[in-house]
Amino acid sequence: MNHSDADYLNADPFQGDEAEIACRNVKIRTARKQHLCYGLTGKQDHFISAGQRYRHERARIDGSFWGEYRICLDCMSKFILGQF
């Protein structure tokens, strides 16, 4: 099932984490090259292909490092539907 970009942006797979998050930036992007999907199962077992849309998130975590995640929209759809 496809969702709107707003649905993908508003769904927060990291909600409830106890980390201090600052300078957060979340966008829907189109891959120009292959990326590893962060995955929401704890496994990073598939890729985001060039041309595929994905959710990109970057933020300063606990004031000590930048975290950056790419999650394919298939994984985000499953998250929105409560399948993770």
Closest-CA residue to 78 (of 50, 49, 55, 51): 55
**Coil vs helix vs strand at 74:** helix
Alpha-carbon dihedral angle through residues 76, 66, 29, 37, given to the nearest 10 degrees: -50
SS3 assignment, position 34: coil
3-class state of residue 65 by DSSP: strand
Beta bridge partners of 69: 57
- pLDDT average per 10 residues of sequence, the chain (84 residues): 89 80 90 93 88 94 87 94 85
The predicted pLDDT at position 1 comes to 56
